[in-house]
A and B are shown apart, each in its own frame.
Chain A
Amino acid sequence: MNGERTLGARMKRVEDPALLQGTATFSADLSLPGMVHMAILRSTEAHAEIRSIDTSKAVNMPGVLKVITSADIAGKIMPLPCIWIPGGAESHFPSHPFGVPGAGPVLATGRVRYVGDPVAVVVAETLQAAEDALEHIRVDYKSLPAVVTAEQALSADAPQLHDEVKGNLNALCTYGDKSAADSALENADVTVQLETLNQRTINSPLEPRVSLGEYIPETGEYVLRGTSQSPHDHRLLLALMVLGIPYNKLRVISPNIGGSFGTKGYLYADMPLVLWLAREIGRPVKWTDTRRGLMRSTVQGRDQHMKGWLCGDKSGRITGLKVESLANLGAYPSTIGPGVATAMVGRCVTSVYDIPAAYAEVKAVFTNVVPLGAQRGSGRAEATYLIERLIDLYARQIGLDPTEVRLKNMIRPEQMPFDNRMGWRYDSGDYPATFQRVRDLVGYDSIDAAKAEARSRGKYLGVSVTPFVAVSGVGPSPRMSKEGMLGGTWESANIKIHPTGEISVIIGSKPHGQGHETSFGQIVADELGVPLAMIEVLHSDTKRAPFGQGSYGSRSFSVGGAAVLQAAVAAKEKLIALAAHIFNVPATHVTFAQGKLYPNNEPARAKTVQEVALAMWYGWDLPHGMEPNLDVTTYFDPPDFNFPHGAQAAVVEVDEVTGQVDVRRFFGVHDVGVQGNAMIVEGQVHGGIAHGIGQALWEGAEYGADGQLVTRDLATYALPRATDLPRFTVETTITPTPNTALGAKGAGEIGTVGAAVAISNAVCDALAPLGVKHIEMPLRPEKICLAMQSAAQNSRSSERKS
């Protein structure tokens, strides 16, 4: 160890060789003896009544074992539940027979509500046979009018999606102080406003979803293998609310999965279907999605139609903020979609600023598009986008430098912990320091020279410096219950020290690319002073792991890691207690260093962790009351959320003729508190930044007025490519969260939270000399050209007037 701590060290990820060289088993690779294949017939209509479904031809096709529609599962497979009920003024859901909010039937019943809604499934000997048979199912639809935007869905004459939900309004949630914000706006010197659509994005993990169901008649046990980022959550919800089977008769195993970005924490129809069908057919049933299937069925992100009003005085002091947002939930409430779309926006709108009067109101609305769920940074990215665009507009209005305005209103470290007046209590951090550092990195003070140089090449150069804070680490269970979460949000860890000294760490959270096996191992290696190679980190099998939850909301390391530290500390205490007994000294006289235990100042008598563990296994001579073996299980429920923060800066160039945007440079200073592995954190940040730049420049789900998805594959939906991006310059500062002993804050989403608006602000800055104030995302060149042309026309017409 050479005195350097293992925790935080830039160690190579132990899981990478297998993941990258193709030897790891991904969900799509799974195969069981006797396995058969399921294919899903999805609705081709955005909104229609199902008059009839004729499966007679499909069922007689070669290799076909079963064809089912909603009639076959009525009363046998319950509708999916929604478990995050926005804790607002009102909320309305489709019904569920168990009294919980419903999230729609497993197979469309009487009506389809989006293109992609599952209508029927075929199980056949081969995937080919199942897909051939799908083509022979005849569905007689009676088209109904479709509605694709939240605004349309709220209009008086809009088609109604769910009988139980009047006016398509799922929830109306309010945050902050309305009368204070209204009065600030009324009395302000300066008010700026912005109406903007934070466009819907399609989550695009490398691997589409997979579900493989098995039923074991001898034990009556069901096994679901597949792409789950929350195996324990899925186990509870499927057993309790969908299949109605005992919890201990459902095992969920999630092998290596190729990314998720939040999507694979949701319940989908295929999960209960493969389990139920496996029992019906008596053979394992596998379903594997395709890219096009993913794009019309896996939960999508963002889609907040926002209006913001920011007011202040002429010196740059912000006095008030008001936000109204319409969240487009899509056709059904996804598992936790309604909560994500409301609280994660409404409570975040003030970001890093000390705004004395703020209010946000979010309406969550049903429409005929794919259900909305999480996407890396959800809610926080939309909120950050709005406030940072507003501040640029405000600074311009009063003729001040936008970085000065930001600093003037930023929460200062001595104000920590800080109540943001919207429901969050920021834990720690020096927001102005990270902001100043990024401002220096980007060379803000000499940017005018760079702008002039770019003009000589036919380019407009723009710069932005934007801070962010991102609530992470879901969460304190009691608090989450008040937010409307129907479930616990603690996390777990188990540490076993084997008689031969190797250590198994079993965790309740689940990696889908984050490198848990490395960074969680580093916690234990650091605490017990043993090499990382002695430690294996096991996860993703509900039968092997202790009770746990899953990975979402940047909680794995910040919450699950704290549980692991707690277990490591307990293991260490027990090792010390036995060593004290062996050495016949009080526990306080035992030194534990670098994997060895010895009486203080007598290193020659040292015993290794391995030797003490073996003594514990034999149990020949244990102190009174000590149980044999080292096997510690801990549960950790954090007292509060944690709040990673930072700042990012972008330099872009816009071509004066074609409007093409070139991201020249991107800087970030991020603070995620204590890190498990600095390289992994940096990688997460890089990925997050790319994600945010993707939304700013290219991504955007497009639906026709008829509800058909126009961007239906990767030839029509643009994702960022490595070759489109500059080298990112990323630094970190470390401010531990006081809320956990580990001190770690969330890291997986933060890169995304500010990146989109960093690009948007830089592009608007580039075009400010032309009089351009705002351009909507994605910042496609054609749109930029139009903005440049209309700005030029405006300035010509104002010249004529003067």
Chain B
Amino acid sequence: MSSAPFAYYAPETLDQALELLGSNSSVRVLAGGHQLVPVLARRELRADMLVDLRRVNALHGIRPTGDGVILGAMTRLQEIAQLPALVGSALSDAIEALGDHETRLQATIGGSVASLEAANDVLSALSVHGAAVECATPGGNETVGLETLLRDGLPKSAIIVAIRLPDAAPSTGSAHVRVRDPASLYPICAVSVSLRRDSKGRVKDPVVAVTGATEKTCRLSAAEEALDGQSFPPVLERPVLTANDCVSDHVSGAEYRALLGNELVRRAVSQAASRVAR
């Protein structure tokens, strides 16, 4: 199949890209393209114009900041999973679980965040890493916390410039576990967990996020509250997700997603706890 006709631009600056983005109501931004291109080719989505970001230098590269790292929006996921500071973290777990090697080499971190699709391992993992998203808009740059992004979506006419990732605090472990749909390989349910052990051997700052099972990627405050202050290794006694919280579709019912969610929270907590440096 071939896509319906569209205009194609590959600007070299962010300003040009923003201008093109504002020039037409049916314009789509092309980052890695692993989601956009197939739906265009199948004519399930139409765009009058594609703005390809690959030539915009400002969006490329990984820069350390002293207390973290700035990931240019066009950074390929595979590159991120291999960063030494991230090996054995929720984010690298999440990336390694995606599709296949070729997909991970093509997909970008900015594109993964921008898609905001319901089942999004990367978003869920970024959420427990405390990431923030730097966006360029016609009115100037603005940095949005991931929680805000998950709640409100991207600012209007914005292009994601970078993802800011703070370094993990000492004695922190994180993990991302998932059960995938065997067809799409998207998660039916995936859970990310990050937790810190304080000097008294108790859980501090637990963050738990779920994706795939719920309508949107979201934090699981019930799990976080239950974990906070527990002595290591923490254990979740009670369910933190019910069928009412979950979606039902042809892949899976809400009951099963809730069952998976509760089990995966337990498994992710145990995995994250085992990764806390002694």
Please list the residues of chain A having a beta carbon within 8 angstroms of any beta carbon in chain B: 127-128, 131-132, 135, 290, 292, 657-658, 660, 697-698, 702, 710-711, 713-719, 721, 724, 781-782, 785-786
Answer whether A718 and B182 are a contact pair too, CB < 8 Å, given A127-B2, A702-B250, A782-B252. Answer: yes
> Is B207 among interface residues, defined by CB-CB distance under 8 A?
no
Q: Is the CB of A658 within 8 A of B179?
A: yes
Would you call B184 an interface residue if the criterion is a C-beta within 8 Å of the partner chain's C-beta atoms?
A: yes
A292: chain B residues at CB < 8 Å are: 1, 42
Q: How many A-B residue pairs have CB under 8 A?
A: 49
User: By the criterion CB–CB under 8 Å, are A131 and B253 in contact?
Assistant: no
Report if B256 contacts A (CB, 8 A). Answer: yes
Across the A-B interface, give the 5 residue pairs with the lowest CB-CB distance, nearest first: A718-B183, A718-B182, A782-B256, A715-B184, A128-B2
**Contact A785/B182 with A127-B2, A128-B2 known, Cβ cut-off 8 Å:** no
B118-149 residues with Cβ-Cβ distance < 8 A to A are none
The reply to whether A132 and B259 form a contact with Cβ atoms under 8 Å apart is: no
Q: Could you tell me if B263 and A698 are in contact, using CB atoms closer than 8 angstroms?
A: no
Beyond A714-B183, A717-B183, A782-B256, whether A132 also contacts B1 by CB under 8 A is no
Q: Are B182 and A698 in contact (CB under 8 A)?
A: yes
Please tell me if the beta carbons of A658 and B260 are within 8 angstroms of each other in the complex: yes
Question: Per-position contact with A for B68-80: 1 when CB-CB < 8 Å, else 0?
Answer: 0000000000000
Measured CB to CB, the nearest residue on chain B to A39 is: B1
Q: A715-B184, A716-B184 are in contact. Are A657 and B2 (CB under 8 A)?
A: no
Residues of B within 8 A of A717 (CB): 183
Q: Is the CB of B253 within 8 A of A782?
A: yes
For the A-B complex with A292-B1, A782-B252 known, give 10 more contacts whose Cβ atoms are closer than 8 Å.
A128-B2, A135-B43, A290-B42, A660-B179, A698-B182, A702-B250, A715-B184, A716-B184, A716-B250, A719-B183
Asked whether B4 lies within 8 Å of A716 as measured between CB atoms, the reply is: no
Tell which of B4, B181, B263 touches A658, judged by Cβ atoms closer than 8 Å.
B263
By beta carbon, the residue of chain A nearest B262 is: A657
Q: Are B1 and A131 in contact (CB under 8 A)?
A: yes
Interface string of B35-69 (1 = CB under 8 A from A): 00000001100000000000000000000000000
| Distance A782 CA – B183 CA, assembled complex (angstroms) | 15
Closest-by-CB residue of B relative to A704 is: B250
**Which chain B positions have C-beta within 8 A of A716?**
183-184, 250
CA distance A404 to B183 in the complex (A): 38
A697 to B183, CA, bound (A): 12
- CB closest residue in chain B, given A720: B182
Which residues 1-51 of B have a CB within 8 angstroms of A?
1-2, 4-5, 42-43
Max count, chain B CB within 10 A of own CB: residue among A657, A714, A717, A786: A657
Cβ A657 vs Cβ B259 within 8 A: yes
In whole angstroms, what is the CA distance A176 to B232 when docked?
Answer: 68
- When C-beta atoms are compared, the residue in chain B nearest to A127 turns out to be B2
A713 to B250, CA, bound (A): 14
Contact of B250 among A657, A658, A697, A710 (CB under 8 A): A710
Q: Which residues in B have their C-beta under 8 angstroms from that of A658?
A: 179, 259-260, 263
Which residues of B line the A interface, CB within 8 A?
A: 1-2, 4-5, 42-43, 179, 181-184, 250, 252-253, 256, 259-260, 263
In the complex the two chains form, is A290's CB within 8 Å of B1's CB? yes
Which of chain B's residues have a CB closer than 8 A to the CB of A721?
Answer: 182
Dominant SS among interface residues on chain B: loop
A781 and B257 CA atoms in complex are apart in Å by 11
B59: min CB distance to chain A, Å: 28
**Complex-state Cα separation, A716 to B2, whole angstroms:** 21
Q: Which A residues are in CB contact (< 8 Å) with B184?
A: 715-716
- Between-chain CB contacts (< 8 Å), 26 pairs: A127-B2, A131-B43, A132-B4, A135-B4, A292-B42, A657-B259, A658-B259, A660-B179, A702-B250, A711-B183, A713-B42, A714-B183, A715-B184, A716-B183, A716-B184, A716-B250, A718-B181, A718-B182, A719-B183, A721-B182, A724-B182, A781-B256, A782-B252, A782-B253, A785-B256, A785-B259
Could you tell me the distance between the alpha carbons of A175 and B4 in the complex, rounded to whole angstroms?
A: 54
Contacts of B4 in A (CB 8 A): 132, 135
Complex Cα–Cα for A718 and B259 (A): 22
With both beta carbons as reference points, the residue of chain A lying nearest to B253 in the complex is identified as: A782
Q: How far is the CB of B243 from chain A (nearest CB, A)?
A: 12
Cβ distance B3 to chain A, nearest Cβ, rounded Å: 9
Complex CA–CA separation, A135 to B46 (angstroms): 13
Chain B neighbourhood of A128, CB < 8 A: 2, 5
B-chain residues with CB within 8 Å of residue A782 when the two chains form the complex: 252-253, 256
Max chain A C-beta neighbours (<10 A), residue from B1, B182, B253:
B182
CB distance from A714 to the nearest CB of B (A): 7
**A396 and B1 alpha carbons, distance in the complex (Å):** 52
- In the bound assembly, the distance between CA atoms of A148 and B58 in angstroms comes to 54
- How many angstroms between the C-alpha atoms of A702 and B259 in the bound complex? 24
Measured between beta carbons, the chain A residues less than 8 angstroms from B5 are 128, 132
**Complex interface: chain A residues within 8 A of B259 (CB):** 657-658, 785
- Which residues of chain A are near B43, meaning CB under 8 Å? 131, 135
Distance of A738 from chain B, by nearest CB (Å): 44
Cβ-closest chain B residue relative to A721 = B182
Closest to A128 in B: B2
What's the nearest-Cβ distance from chain A to residue B256, in Å? 4
Output the nearest chain B residue to A288 by Cβ-Cβ distance.
B1
| Minimal beta-carbon separation of B226 from chain A (angstroms) | 18
Q: Please, which residue of chain B has its CB at the minimum distance from the CB of A719? A: B183
Nearest residue in B to A723 (C-beta to C-beta)? Answer: B100
B259 closest partner in A (C-beta): A785
With the chains together, A460 CA to B63 CA distance in Å? 48
In the complex, chain B residues whose CB is within 8 Å of the CB of A711: 183
Residue of A with least CB distance to B264:
A658
A292 CB to closest chain B CB, in angstroms?
Answer: 7
Bound state CA distance, A753 and B131, in angstroms? 51
Instruction: Please give, as numbers and ranges, the residues of chain A lying within 8 Å of B260 by CB-CB distance.
Output: 658
Please indicate the chain B residues that have their CB under 8 angstroms from the CB of A697 in the complex: 182
Q: How far is the CA of A651 from the CA of B183 in the complex (A)?
A: 23
B242: min CB distance to chain A, Å: 16
B270 CB to closest chain A CB, in angstroms?
Answer: 12
B95 to chain A, nearest CB (A): 17
Q: Which residue in B183, B252, B263 is a CB contact (below 8 Å) of A657?
A: B263
Residue among B2, B184, B252 with max Cβ neighbours from chain A (10 Å): B2
In whole angstroms, what is the CA distance A290 to B42 when docked?
Answer: 9
A608 smallest CB distance to B (angstroms): 51
> CA A658 – CA B42 in complex, angstroms?
35
* Shortest distance between the CB of A23 and any CB in chain B (Å): 22
Complex CA–CA separation, A132 to B1 (angstroms) = 10
Q: How far is the CB of A613 from chain B (nearest CB, A)?
A: 51
Q: How far is the CB of B180 from chain A (nearest CB, A)?
A: 10
* Cα(A781)–Cα(B263), bound, Å: 14
In the complex, chain B residues whose CB is within 8 Å of the CB of A786 = 256
Q: Provide the residues of chain A in CB contact with B256, threshold 8 Å.
A: 781-782, 785-786
Least Cβ distance of B195 to chain A in Å? Answer: 22
Give the chain B neighbours of A702 by CB distance below 8 A. 250
State in angstroms the CA–CA spacing of A717 and B181 once bound together.
Answer: 10
Q: Kindly list chain B residues whose C-beta atoms are within 8 Å of the C-beta of A132.
A: 4-5
CA distance A127 to B4 in the complex (A): 11
Q: How far is the CA of A660 from the CA of B183 in the complex (A)?
A: 15
Chain A residues, CB < 8 A from B1 = 131, 290, 292
Q: Which residue of A lies closest to B184 (CB)?
A: A715
Give A784's nearest chain B residue, CB to CB. B256
Q: Min CB distance, A790 to chain B, in Å?
A: 13
- Contact at A715–B2, with CB atoms within 8 Å? no
| A347 vs chain B, min Cβ distance (A) | 34
- CB-nearest residue of chain B relative to A289? B1
Distance of A135 Cα from B43 Cα, bound (Å)? 10
Contacts of B2 in A (CB 8 A): 127-128, 131
